[in-house]
């Protein structure tokens, strides 16, 4: 790539002009720092690199590196995203336009792993297990995982002409799917976990969280729910407004939910509950872990401070910085910290990050020893809850009322290797297996969940299947991992017959942290009785 000297000068001049135009107030504010001289030095260095450095460098990439270097001097959560990165990030919370499936490339074919309920593919008749062999008249066989989304996503109204192979059909089938808005479920699982006890898992806080939660609560209450477990484990956050709306479901009106404080006048806000959508004040248990962050911590912190919920699990991440989105002219974005979150009892959610490397900042979350040192730090402030005046910890993150440490991955290394293989051994085996075992389809799901275990013949068929596809495993390894293999086979059978939620209910049977939480429901009952009166309606 040859860059003319005039181009370099033009780039530098434009860069300086932009900074001078947008940064006049900065220069006026601190003339002593001689910021203009530093900008000139930066420009001179950029020019010398472009003209004389041993390897040719892209000036745009150098500028992005310089931006990221500047941001690295701020806090761990201020971030600069290119336009591509920002679009990908936005999909987590705002959704996207496409055909509404998840997929993998198995045996060189795009294989539909799930279909979003009510989405474009669902309406068009696409089924889990369908293999897409052609897209808009062009073969999709052998397509890479990176190429596929470029062909399966598009503006609303775009027609995507698919040719699919389907088990049980002798011929291929043509289906036209019209791209539409696809919203990723904020709340994937809502069910009665045991008589009278509801369970709701929130994966992320998005623009649809409030609506999904309202529908879920109404459904569970109609099924006789008398208390609720709200699972926020692994939830890294999302929209502040969504977190406030969630808390508003569980608190009487007029309670402060969260407030923010920043350097500028417009960055400080207070958020209060209303009586518009408040549900009956039944016992509530909230599960958090070390990955629960930001919006999750707002929810847990507010409900703990108002003595509304028993918090169980692990101390949360400690991410209490407000990021404001600044969309830039080239489609990139600056997510810049403009304020800090505080709970109703004035606890700062953000964990300390000054005088600590970025590596150590994140190590505090993943390393058990560092985690315990932080949790047991005697200098951590203790504050009182709003109603019962219980002691709760400040100094970053939300510390649970009941500690339930997560256990290491219960799936063995051998089975993890089988699961992570691109051959998707379990998925392909169950596809063929179910053709000859249709009797499973008619089973009562609850009986299946309690009593079904794949028998010895099923295990032998699975062993034969993976070996024929090239997976290396000894008889001894297979026998030693028998229980894990039975468990994963049961999950895949449940998913094939009853869907994702059924598969998750199988997973719950080995979720020791959740099962242990069920033992503390009486404490949630005592908490609500002391703070609001037993089963009050408000």
Catalytic center residues = 294, 305, 319
Locus of tokens 């062993």: 463
CB of 302 closer than 8 Å to CB of 247? yes
| Kind plus residue range of the DSSP H or E element containing 191 | strand 189-194
Cα(487)–Cα(410) distance, integer angstroms = 11
* Nearest-10 Cα torsion for 371, 74, 234, 274: 110
Rg (CA), the chain: 27
- The DSSP secondary structure of 15-40, one letter per residue, reads HHHHHHHH-HHHHHHTGGG-HHHHHH
Locus of tokens 């979003």: 116
Pairing type for strands 284-288 and 227-231 reads: parallel
- The DSSP secondary structure of 334-386, one letter per residue, reads EEEEEEEEE-TT--B-SPP-TTS-HHHHHHHHH-HHHHHHHHT-TTS-EEE-S
CB of 411 closer than 8 Å to CB of 419? yes
Pairing type for strands 79-81 and 96-98 reads: unpaired
Exposure of 396 by Cβ count < 10 A (0-12 exposed, 13-18 middle, 19+ buried)?
Answer: buried
| Kind plus residue range of the DSSP H or E element containing 178 | strand 173-178
* Residue 402 CB partners (closer than 8 Å, separation 6+): 310, 311, 312, 313, 520, 523
Cα separation values, 74 from 81, 176, 237, 396, Å: 16, 49, 21, 18
Cα separation values, 32 from 35, 37, 38, 71, 534, Å: 8, 11, 12, 22, 64
Cα separation values, 282 from 257, 267, 503, Å: 19, 35, 28
Pairing type for strands 159-165 and 131-135 reads: antiparallel
Cα separation values, 246 from 200, 204, 261, 272, 478, Å: 12, 12, 21, 12, 46
Largest CA distance in the chain: 81
């Amino acid at each position: 790539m040859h860059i003319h000297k005039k181009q370099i000068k033009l780039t530098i001049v434009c860069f300086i002009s932009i900074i001078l135009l947008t940064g006049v107030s900065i220069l006026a504010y601190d003339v002593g720092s001689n910021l203009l001289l530093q900008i000139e030095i930066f420009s001179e260095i950029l020019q010398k690199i472009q003209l004389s450095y041993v390897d040719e460098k892209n000036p745009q990439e150098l500028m992005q590196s310089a931006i990221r270097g500047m941001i690295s001097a701020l806090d761990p959560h201020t971030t600069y995203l290119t336009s591509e990165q920002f679009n990908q990030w936005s999909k987590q919370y705002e959704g996207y336009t496409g055909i509404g499936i998840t997929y993998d490339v198995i045996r060189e074919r795009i294989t539909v792993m799930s279909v979003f309920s009510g989405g474009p593919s669902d309406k068009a008749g696409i089924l889990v297990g369908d293999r897409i062999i052609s897209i808009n008249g062009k073969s999709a066989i052998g397509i890479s995982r990176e190429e596929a989304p470029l062909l399966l996503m598009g503006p609303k109204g775009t027609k995507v002409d698919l040719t699919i192979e389907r088990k049980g059909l002798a011929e291929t089938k043509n289906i036209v799917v019209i791209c539409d808005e696809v919203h990723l479920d904020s709340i994937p699982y809502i069910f009665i976990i045991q008589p009278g006890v509801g369970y709701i898992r929130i994966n992320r806080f998005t623009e649809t969280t409030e609506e999904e939660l309202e529908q879920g609560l109404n459904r569970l209450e109609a099924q006789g729910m008398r208390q609720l477990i709200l699972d926020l484990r692994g939830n890294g956050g999302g929209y502040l407004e969504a977190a406030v709306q969630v808390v508003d479901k569980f608190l009487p009106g007029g309670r402060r939910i969260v407030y923010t404080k920043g350097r500028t006048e417009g960055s400080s806000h207070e958020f209060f509950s209303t009586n518009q959508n408040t549900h009956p004040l039944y016992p509530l248990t909230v599960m958090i872990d070390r990955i629960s962050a930001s919006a999750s911590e707002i929810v847990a912190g507010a409900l703990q401070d108002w003595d509304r919920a028993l918090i169980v699990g692990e101390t949360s991440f400690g991410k209490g910085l407000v990021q404001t989105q600044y969309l830039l002219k080239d489609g990139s974005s600056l997510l810049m910290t403009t304020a800090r979150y505080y709970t109703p009892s004035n606890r700062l959610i953000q964990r300390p990050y000054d005088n600590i490397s970025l590596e150590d900042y994140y190590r505090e979350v993943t390393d058990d020893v560092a985690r315990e040192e932080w949790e047991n730090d005697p200098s951590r402030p203790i504050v009182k809850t709003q109603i019962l005046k219980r002691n709760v910890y400040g100094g970053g993150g939300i510390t649970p009322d009941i500690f339930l440490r997560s256990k290491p991955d219960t799936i063995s290394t051998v089975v993890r290797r089988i699961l992570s293989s691109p051959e998707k051994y379990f998925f392909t085996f169950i596809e063929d297996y179910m053709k000859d075992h249709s009797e499973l389809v008619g089973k009562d799901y609850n009986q299946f969940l309690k009593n079904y275990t794949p028998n010895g013949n099923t295990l032998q068929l699975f062993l034969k299947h993976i070996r024929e596809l090239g997976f290396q495993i000894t008889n001894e390894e297979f026998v030693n991992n028998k229980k894990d293999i039975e468990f994963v086979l049961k999950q895949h059978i449940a998913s094939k017959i009853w869907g994702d939620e059924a598969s998750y209910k199988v997973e719950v049977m080995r979720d020791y942290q959740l099962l242990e939480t069920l033992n503390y429901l009486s404490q949630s009952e005592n908490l609500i009785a002391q703070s609001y009166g037993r089963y009050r309606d408000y």
